[in-house]
Amino acid sequence: MPLFDLLGYAGPGLAAVLLAMAALNDNAENAAVSHAANGLPAITKAMDSTMMVLLRKSTQRTGSPDLLRACWTPEQLRGSASDKSIQKQAPDPSPPERITYRKQAILPEKLSGSIRYVKPRNSEKLVALTFDLCEQANERSGYDADLVNYLRDHKVKATFFAGGKWMRSHAEKTMQLMADPLFEIANHAWTHGNLRVLNGREMEEQITWTQAEYELLREKLLKSKCAAKLGDQAAVAIPPSLTEFRFPYGACNGQSLTAVNQMGLAAIQWNIVTGDPDRGQTAENIARTILNQVQPGSIVIAHANGRGWHTAEALPLVVSKLRTRGYRFVKISELLARGEVVATDSCYELKPGDNLRYDRQFGTGAK
């Protein structure tokens, strides 16, 4: 089995390997940064594509059950039903405490474009559940404790696309999610800006401030007493930076799609829409939609920010049935590594052009 396949099953014995890989990755990133000033992406030219893929896969770390247990009690992890509520607030335009962020390795060509789903090798029955943690400028959105608790209780892997401001207003929950081996966090813009309308500096800040906020919280967690007790194990367990991005409103244009990819981020869309932010959508309908449309390599979009009104109730109707059919739940980084990515050059809900109405409805979406 190639080394990078082992990384999906990393146990304690692999910590040293992962640490070495992490150091290698750090060096590559630093080298890329130091050469960027001269406009010479020397490191990528020097490295063959296999090496790049290997480095990228080293970011597929797995979280740490020890870290989760060391830092929170079971009660703290369970949260409460009131976490789900959404509060309107006056916009706070302040940036993260620090706006610098780690530069990513160059995105492999096969991961460029707007990724709809993956064709897994040997039609392996994999499915990626993804939950958006959107938070607009004028609100503090919620955290769906019932949903996360269900995933934890039933060992269902999932990916959370978190707004940067959501992470700031839910710092503790963000650290719990990043420490949990079941989960992966990805970038969902700072204040849910519409990147088909925003451009220039405003567009870039939506992306980079979110990268920065995640890295700040990771640092904070690693510096905490509970994590320090675990030594290198904690640092190895949590990816140093975010490597995937989801466009708010599912909206991009050529410029923003290129910008995201040039920052080294894979743009992740979906091919199954639960429609869970619609208050009229029932748990039964969400379950039916997923069960009728699932195919190996599907990416399902739902919400865990309080606007997935019946999503937590839908999970019990979906998870055991999919498992009975032979499906396995994976995080997006695992899915990307297990087959051929199917991507398009535009962003949409289910058909090209079907989300243009959001530009009129939400404008820049960021204020």
Q: Phi, psi (5° rounding) for residue 66? A: -65, -40
Write down the least CB distance from residue 132 to Zn ion, Å. 4
Residue ranges binding Zn ion (CB under 5 A): 132, 134, 248
Write down the least CB distance from residue 367 to Zn ion, Å. 16
Closer residue to Zn ion in complex, CB, 63/193: 193
The C-alpha atoms of residue 181 and residue 7 are separated, in whole angstroms, by 13
- Which residue minimizes CB distance to Zn ion? 134
Q: What is the dihedral of CA 202, 203, 209, 214, to 10 degrees?
A: 160
Write down the least CB distance from residue 15 to Zn ion, Å. 35
Closer residue to Zn ion in complex, CB, 132/139: 132
Closer residue to Zn ion in complex, CB, 43/134: 134
Write down the least CB distance from residue 248 to Zn ion, Å. 5
Write down the least CB distance from residue 365 to Zn ion, Å. 9
Write down the least CB distance from residue 276 to Zn ion, Å. 11
Closer residue to Zn ion in complex, CB, 132/213: 132
Closer residue to Zn ion in complex, CB, 132/276: 132
Closer residue to Zn ion in complex, CB, 60/194: 194
Which has the closest alpha carbon to 288: 270, 274, 300, 271? 274
Helix (H, G, I), strand (E, B) or coil at 308: coil
Which has the closest alpha carbon to 205: 103, 105, 100? 100
DSSP string, 159-221: EEEE-HHHHHHTHHHHHHHHH-TTEEEEE--SS---TTT--HHHHHHHHHHHHHHHHHHHHHH
Cβ atoms 52, 108 nearer than 8 A: yes
Cβ atoms 57, 337 nearer than 8 A: yes
Write down the least CB distance from residue 192 to Zn ion, Å. 5
Closer residue to Zn ion in complex, CB, 173/338: 173
Which has the closest alpha carbon to 207: 241, 163, 237? 163
Residue 319: its H or E element:
helix 311-324
